Amino acid sequence: MKFNTDVLHSNQVHARLTGSYKPQAMAHVSPIYQTSTYVLEDFDSAVYLNQHVDEGFVYTRFGSPNADELEKKIAHMEHAEAALALASGLGAISTAVMSVVKAGDNVVIGDVIYGCTYALFTKVLSRLDITCTRVDTSNVKAVEEAIKPNTSLVYVETPANPTLKISDIEEISKVVHLHKDITLIVDSTFASPYLQNALDLGADLVVHSATKYLCGHGTVTAGVIAGNKERIDRCRMPYLQCFGAVIDPFAAWQLMQGMKTLGIRMERHCQNAMKVAKFLEGHPMIDRVYYPGLPSHPTYEIAKKQMHNGFGGMMSADIKGGMDAVRTVMNNVKVFSLATSLGNVDSLIQHSPSMSHFDMTPEERHAASIFDGQVRLSIGIEDADDLIEDLDQALNKIKL
């Protein structure tokens, strides 16, 4: 099936079967299993299921029918054997990472990644005797040279937040898998499965903040991990079991409703973003636009090769006039909402240096091309002309 049919109908559960194989109900939309625990049939099944939580439902911290349905849908969309749904994007990232690393290891990360992910590596894992090496992951040679004898993980975010740097997953995977004990994890949040399938390109695990494009409506926080069954089982037990970053049934249910329109939303996000990016690139108050669909973007050629169906709805722009100009724009936009998220149907704007990437020092930010005058735009599905007019009137209020 093509994408829009697939995302609507794959792994849709209309009924739960009883022991006699008669359907309990045939709800068109899956019911919400809003319960903390499950009644077990007898002693033997209780013992078995408590020791094999991936094979049934015992306690919602281990999983629920709603989470199970969501996980099967995510696995299908990411061409994976299995998936795991969690309570947030950082829940997914930290669970995936902790399932790989141990004390004494080294991890290689991109020089441009989400600020809280950066904090995980530099402020949390560093206390567990795990070292971190930052490299430009769009340079495959730099990744290769950064690998040490104790490297256990290469972590790539592509497109990267907030400069939309694209890393070549396929080429990096070739380098990584020359070493049998190194895992490649890719954060594909900005792309969604509509634009990019990291596992097909050689990643071992792919993570998403499902709060963003997968949901699309800003109603839940959630995260997902996809990969082969062995790796997902390792994420579930003991890491999900002990960290408790479980997705609740209602959030899983809401997320599945949002995913039904993922394809048509992403199509419009991509169309609008291209129009806005071209407009900003020609605006006299803009120094630089970071959008992988523009030929001026330094990793445009990698994006063309790696991403399908478009280049996404995210971009950043350097505004002339620095922080004061940013304040003027943010205080004067009418259609864009000032909010620290992305991937919603409505357009959002934020100041990355002081919001999503405040954990980085000014020197670290500037080295990663995250400048004080930079705004990040999440382009929604409104009429593109209205978005352009809104940005234009706000930019024209800047006084240099």
Residues with a known catalytic role: 61, 114, 187, 212
Cis before 353 (ω within 30): no
CA distances 79 to 82, 89, 205, 368, 396, Å, are: 9, 20, 11, 32, 46
| Contact status, residue 185 vs residue 100, Cβ threshold 8 Å | yes
- Determine the Cα–Cα distance for residues 248 and 253; give it in Å rounded to an integer: 9
Task: Look at the block and give the residue holding tokens 């669970």.
Answer: 95
Please name the residues in contact with 145: beta carbons below 8 A apart, sequence gap of 6 or more: 135
Task: Go through the chain and tell me how many residues it has.
Answer: 400
